[in-house]
């Protein structure tokens, strides 16, 4: 397991404590960190408080809230945590529906330990990728927020393909001033040059220039 994977927490959600105890023992025996919950509501609360990368192993059938309902709750709070569903015989159609909704895998009970571990490691890798992507997006948002309204306006014009002369004419400023703003944008966004800024921000929504 890589250093990145070792930072991923695996949530276990099942109303049967015997199941979560067994899964926890298996995962922790191979140095995978876990946190177990018998209640979906308690799990959702923990998700809101957890700031790192995580995935979850969820029982499809629980009395308080089904696994599919739990998956929908995660969607509603904009949580893209990778999910693995534990299913009993006869739940395959529901598990396929869960996969269509974004689950990364489902494992039928009784399961093969190696098959289960392989599935969890797959979910952990995906969790690491998604977490890194979110962190990059947050960093970009912070950098964009550091731009002045004028710099944001210049950036919007850059992304529309306008030259410095065209931007200067539109904003009623000199081309030299536009070049100063472009240099500030490149520096604040931690880019190498304007071309990199345009390439990386193409299609992104920007804050208002006002």
Please state the domain count of the chain.
2
| pLDDT by residue, tens only, the chain of 210 residues | 443 566 899 999 999 999 999 999 999 999 999 999 999 999 999 999 998 999 999 998 888 888 889 999 999 998 999 999 988 766 777 777 777 778 888 888 888 899 999 999 999 999 999 999 999 888 998 999 999 999 999 999 999 999 999 999 999 999 999 999 999 999 999 999 999 999 888 767 676 665
* Cα 139 from Cα 81, distance rounded (Å): 20
With tokens 């966004």, the residue in question is: 189
Please check whether residues 31 and 71 belong to one and the same domain.
Answer: yes
Contact 124, 8 (CB under 8 A): yes
- Report the helix count and the strand count for the chain, using DSSP H and E: 10, 5
Q: What is this structure's pTM? A: 0.77
Domain assignment present for residue 210? The answer is no
Please check whether residues 170 and 73 belong to one and the same domain.
Answer: no
Half-sphere exposure of 8 (CA within 13 A, CB side): 28
Residues spanned by the domain of 48: 3-136
Q: Two tokens at 16?
A: 């049967």
User: Coil, strand or helix: which one is 25?
Assistant: helix
Domain assignment present for residue 78? The answer is yes
* Cα 119 from Cα 104, distance rounded (Å): 8
Please check whether residues 11 and 76 belong to one and the same domain.
Answer: yes
């Amino acid at each position: 397991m890589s250093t990145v994977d070792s930072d991923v927490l695996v949530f276990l959600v099942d109303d049967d404590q015997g199941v979560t105890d067994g899964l926890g023992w298996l995962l922790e025996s191979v140095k995978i960190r876990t946190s177990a919950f018998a209640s979906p509501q308690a799990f959702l609360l923990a998700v809101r408080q957890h700031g790192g990368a995580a995935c979850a192993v969820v029982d499809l059938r629980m009395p308080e809230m089904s696994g599919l309902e739990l998956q929908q709750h995660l969607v509603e709070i904009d949580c893209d945590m990778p999910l693995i569903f534990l299913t009993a015989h006869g739940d395959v159609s529901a598990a396929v529906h869960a996969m269509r909704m974004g689950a990364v895998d489902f494992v039928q009970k009784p399961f093969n330990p190696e098959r289960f571990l392989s599935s969890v490691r797959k979910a952990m890798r995906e969790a690491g990728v998604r977490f890194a992507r979110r962190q990059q997006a947050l960093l970009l948002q912070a950098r964009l927020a550091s731009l002045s309204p004028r710099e944001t306006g210049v950036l919007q014009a850059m992304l529309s393909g306008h030259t410095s002369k065209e931007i200067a004419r539109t904003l009623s400023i000199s081309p030299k001033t536009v070049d100063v703003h472009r240099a500030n944008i490149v520096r604040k966004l931690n880019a190498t040059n304007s071309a990199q800024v345009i390439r990386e921000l193409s299609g992104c929504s920007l804050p208002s220039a006002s």
